[in-house]
Structure 1
Amino acid sequence: MLTALYVPANRPDRFAKAVAAGPDLVVFDLEDAVPVEDKAEARSWAVAWIAAHTHGPAEVRVNAVGSPWIEDDLAAVSAVPSVRIRLPKVESVTEVRAVLEKVPSARITALIESPLGLERAFEIATADPRVVAIALGEADLSSALGVDGSAGLAWARGRLVSASRAAGLGAPVMSVYPQVHDLDGLRQTSAEGRALGFVGRTAIHPKQLSVIVESFTPTAVQVAEAEALLAAVEKAGVADGGVIVLPDGRMADPAMIGRAREVVTLMREIELRS
């Protein structure tokens, strides 16, 4: 998955537009984007729309465990088969398991938005096989850490990538870039995230989607080198775990081969979605 797009659940007029924009995942937001007085209606609109449409994967960002709205959120989304829940402000395995106890068929994306949650990221990622992803909530985390910008978040981002990989969840998707009209800033920070190991990003506006895809698409040179390496491995008939010497003298070990496979697989996925 390269792109996810938030849509406020109190704006049903935007639901179809969000899907039509072509993200890999639409996230119906019941939390930060919805005023308190709109939460009940937003909940009903989102669940009804998801139940009535099958236009691709959807996820519901519920309110945090311990909030006044979480019980009603979970009761509502439990009516949706195999619902994906984006659970905010996760700080413990207990919170994840409490949600899964209420909605056993759910798949969870756990949002890490505090220093405590970050310290426990691997535990949260491995809390249950139904946890399918972890991601950062960078606005809250930046505030809690007292940091600004990409430099201040670099360690936290790297920590999340490591936890996700160690848990067997693969490369995580990067958090949103809140300046909707600053596409150059989106492009630059996406490149920074890509260098740290993220693949893909969540958007808050459809205009950000094409920049995100562009930013996380391997370059032609990267794809060509990966394909050449895999072709050399196949020609040499080397099983996984072996080391080969390429015609230019480079040695290719299993780590390099695995990375090449990731690049080629990602490129094929991008080509299929276009």
Structure 2
Amino acid sequence: MENAPHSIPRRSMLFVPGLRPDRARKALASGADVVCIDLEDAVAVSHKDDARNLTLPLFAEPNPSGCERVLRINSLDTTHGLRDVEAIASLADVPEAVMMTKVRSAAEVKLLDELLQGRAASIKFYVTLETNQGLEDVFDIAGASPRMACLLFGEVDLSADLRCKRTSQALLYARSRMAHAAAAFELDAMDVPHINLEDMDGLRVAAEHAAELGFTGKACIHPTQVSVVHEYFTPSAEEVALAEQAVAAFKESGSSGLAVLNGLMLQKPVLRSSQRILALARQGGLLLEDEVRA
């Protein structure tokens, strides 16, 4: 199954706690591609209902930034997770996407698909990969619904489940497997936030590593991290120029699904990759909206 290319690049995702709607409003102006309001890890059990009541009205407010707004809900095997879903289903103005947590199987994604219908049928799905079983079944999870949009690497919980250290080497297989599954189903792949706000060099190393593995972006916990992350997930001028040439070549070739550029035969995966590069370039201000399109 392949999902259609989307027009919103997901290079950065800024997390904000559900108890702070003021921070959510500020986050929308941070320049992040995605803002995720967290009802799960960032909220103590005793305040779950308060966070939900404070957060849900935000989706009825204007969103002039155009960034994607995601609601991170509690696990579906908890009472608060079911309350989150029930509340979302009753909204007149729903979030663009919902992030699922502690997912272990494709059945959970399919269940959420069934529960969020009507006005909520437009909601896309993000899934946090943070369990051993989820890692084992990540390909089934990635293909569980046409509403799947993004996988997020949950380093802390996953490393505990795998009984390994939280190092790039120890988690190389897990990261690569998730990136492979995301690519197989044309999903975005978001890396875990770098939690040391003083360590910008460490953030750069982590972002570069994720980009090399095929991740499309990295989550953030502070607005100062957004511009650094964008450096590693925004294409270079040379990549943009080559993508423009590839898209133009496919235009000229008609509907054959093949094109020739500089003597090389190009197939449709190259077109999809080029379209994504140009979308990222437009998002980063490297390309105007009315420039080369497929």
Q: How would you bin the TM-score normalised by the shorter chain?
A: 0.7 to 0.9
Q: Normalised by the size of structure 2, how large is the TM-score?
A: 0.81
| 1:253–1:98 distance in 2 versus 1, CA, 3 Å | closer
CA pair 46-221 structure 1, distance change in 2 beyond 3 A: same
Matches within 5 A, 1:255-266: 259-266=273-280
The yes-or-no answer on 1:159 pairing with 2:177 is yes
Shift of 1:209: 0.5
Answer whether contact 1:29 1:62 (CA < 8 A) is retained.
yes
The one-letter code sitting in structure 2 at the alignment partner of 1:143 is: A
Question: Which shifted more, 79-88 or 234-243?
Answer: 234-243
| Counterpart for residue 7 of structure 2 | none
Aligned pairs for 1:118-267 (under 5 A) are 118-145=135-162, 146-169=164-187, 171-227=188-244, 233=249, 242=258, 244=260, 246=262, 251-254=264-267, 259-267=273-281
- Structure 1 gaps of 5+ residues are none
Please give the TM-score of this superposition, normalised by the length of structure 1.
0.86
Query: Bigger CA drift: 102-111 or 194-203?
Result: 102-111
Shift of 1:10: 1.0
Greater relative CO, 1 or 2 (CA 8 Å, sep 6+) = 2
Shift in alpha-carbon separation, 1:64–1:253, aligned structure 2, 3 A: same
Provide the aligned C-alpha RMSD in A: 2.7
Q: CA deviation at 1:26?
A: 1.3
Deviations 1:16-51 (A, max 9, x none): 211121222211101111112211111100002222
Quick check: 1:82–1:107 contact (8 Å CA) kept in 2?
Answer: no
Check conservation: 1:44, 1:76, Cα contact below 8 A.
no
How has the CA–CA distance of structure 1 residues 48 and 260 changed in structure 2, closer, same or farther, with 3 Å as cutoff?
closer
Identify unmatched segments of 5+ residues in structure 2.
1-9, 290-294
Distance 2:247 2:113 in 1: 41
Residue from 48, 51, 55 that aligns with 2:57: 48
Contact 1:86–1:108 (8 Å) recurs in 2:
yes
Instruction: Indicate conservation of the 8 Å contact 2:15/2:35, yes or no.
Output: yes
Give the 3-state SS of the residue equivalent to 2:235 in structure 1.
coil
Q: Which has the higher helix share?
A: 1
In structure 2, what is the Cα distance between the partners aligned to 1:263 and 1:183? 25
User: 1:229: how far off?
Assistant: 5.5
Deviations for 1:42-64, whole angstroms, at most 9, x for unmatched residues? 11000022223434431111111
What is the aligned partner in structure 2 of residue 2 from structure 1? 11
CA distance in 2, matches of 1:48, 1:165: 34
Per the alignment, residue 292 of structure 2 pairs with: none
Instruction: Give me the whole-angstrom Cα distance separating, in 2, the residues matched to 1:97 and 1:238.
Output: 37
Residues 18 and 229 of structure 1: CA distance in aligned 2, closer, same or farther (over 3 Å):
closer
For the residue of structure 1 that corresponds to 2:31, the secondary structure is coil
Aligned to 1:14: 23
Q: Decide which moves more: 63-72 or 97-106.
A: 97-106
